[in-house]
Amino acid sequence: MSDQNVERVIIIGSGPAAHTAAIYNARAELKPLLFEGFMAGGVAAGGQLTTTTDVENYPGFPEGISGPELMSQIRAQSVKHGTRIKTETIERVDLSKRPFMVATATDEYFAEALIIATGATAKRLNLPGEELFWQRGISACAVCDGALPIFRERPLVVIGGGDTACEEASYLSKFGSTVTMLVRRDELRASKAMQQRVFNDPKIEIMWNTEAVEAVGDKTLGGLRVTNNKRGDEQVIDASGLFYAIGHTPNTAFLDGQLETDETGYVITRPDSTVTNVPGVFACGDVKDKVYRQAVTAAGSGCMAALEAEHFIVEHALEPAAAGERV
């Protein structure tokens, strides 16, 4: 293979992490090639922000900005600085030697360094009524959407019993009139400290052994039909807001176990860095972050990945031995 076939850096993903990495690498004249995916992980190119309305907590937009518009502007900035974009999904990789290989359904590409920024997809229940009220009362991110006027002093519901659910319920109790947690078992999965936070909050009520059956309302969400899975009875509870906190699925299946991940599939990186267990492969954004999960933190780690990839390329690009046997 001639050097012309080998990219300096390939970036996989299309959210704030991927494009921030691309902006930095493009300005460093590494001519990044970015695969933005085609409905990869069930989400359009642009990532999770394409599934939301107003983003009010991304710096630089005092009046807020719509998620799709923000991603469109970030993408335009990335292209302006020289990022080359392919609207294709990476389906498999070979990280066993350098240059690394990434493959779409039809072609293979090679790179000296690789940045994985494929994000995560919030799990949904696909309840009857969910599509109708998605972003009209139903959300998968309380920290992002909870402060919106439609949720102020209204009854709110969180589904889930993990740390995220407890954190989101505590956060929402500042805004809603009440917060009801629907927990499908008779105990929480969350850490003891998080459990104590919700038990101590007078605005939070927990409905144990309870599952949602249907989202109901008129133009916006008004209530939830729920069932007690022990007794079998159903009732409709008031809900102007419904927040899923039932976990995320990191988009790492295409890596086929070639990068170290935790038991839930999140890529493990060295503390305070984007370095993975494979030298030359970096991971940033929600694909490696199950705690903060915000656009600005994803963008921040995208910057880190770009700088670390650049250092790696400078240090290792001229070492023929490091380029493996792929010639």
Given the rule CB under 6 A, which residues bind ligand FAD?
Answer: 12-18, 35-37, 40-41, 43, 45, 47-49, 51-52, 55, 57-58, 89-90, 117-120, 122, 139-141, 144, 251, 254, 285-287, 293-296, 298
Half-sphere exposure of 183 (CA within 13 A, CB side): 23
Q: From the CB of 164, what's the least distance to ligand NDP, in Å?
A: 3
Q: From the CB of 52, what's the least distance to ligand NDP, in Å?
A: 18
Binding mask 23-62 for ligand NDP (x = CB under 6 A): ----------------------------------------
305 binds, among ligand NDP, ligand FAD, none (CB under 5 to 8 A by kind): none
Q: How far is CA 233 from CA 130, 228, 259, 283, in A?
A: 21, 6, 46, 46
For position 265 contacting ligand NDP by CB under 6 A, the verdict is no
Burial class (CB in 10 A: 0-12, 13-18, 19+), 91: middle
144 binds, among ligand NDP, ligand FAD, none (CB under 5 to 8 A by kind): ligand FAD
Closest alpha carbon to 234 in 243, 244, 224, 242: 224
133 binds, among ligand FAD, ligand NDP, none (CB under 5 to 8 A by kind): none
163 binds, among ligand NDP, ligand FAD, none (CB under 5 to 8 A by kind): ligand NDP
- Judged by phi (left if over 0) then psi (alpha if -120 to 50, else beta), residue 78 lies in alpha
Rg (CA), the chain: 22
d(CA 88, CA 38): 5
Residue in the shown chain whose Cβ atom is closest to ligand NDP: 162
168 binds, among ligand FAD, ligand NDP, none (CB under 5 to 8 A by kind): none
For position 247 contacting ligand NDP by CB under 6 A, the verdict is yes
Q: From the CB of 131, what's the least distance to ligand NDP, in Å?
A: 17
Q: From the CB of 117, what's the least distance to ligand NDP, in Å?
A: 19
The answer to whether the beta carbons of residues 161 and 183 sit under 8 Å apart is yes
* Cα torsion 311, 313, 314, 318: sign: positive
Q: From the CB of 36, what's the least distance to ligand FAD, in Å?
A: 6
Residue in the shown chain whose Cβ atom is closest to ligand FAD: 119
* CB of 40 or CB of 212, closer to ligand NDP: 212
For position 164 contacting ligand NDP by CB under 6 A, the verdict is yes
For position 162 contacting ligand NDP by CB under 6 A, the verdict is yes
Q: Choose the stretch contacting ligand NDP; rule: CB under 6 A; options: 82-90, 233-241, 242-250, 278-286.
A: 242-250
Which pair of structure tokens corresponds to residue 243?
């927040």
Inter-helix orientation angle 192-199/163-172, to 10°: 30
* CB of 81 or CB of 184, closer to ligand NDP: 184
Q: Which residues, listed in sequence order, are joined to residue 212 by a DSSP beta bridge?
A: 226
Q: How far is CA 137 from CA 101, 134, 215, 238, 276, in A?
A: 43, 6, 10, 12, 38
78 binds, among ligand NDP, ligand FAD, none (CB under 5 to 8 A by kind): none
Catalytic residues: 141, 144-145
d(CA 195, CA 172): 15
Which pair of structure tokens corresponds to residue 261?
């991940």
Phi, psi of 249 (to 5 degrees): -115, 110
Closest alpha carbon to 240 in 313, 127, 133: 133
With CB under 6 A as the rule, give the number of residues binding ligand NDP: 17
Binding stretches for ligand NDP (CB under 6 A): 125, 159-165, 167, 184-185, 189, 245-247, 290-291
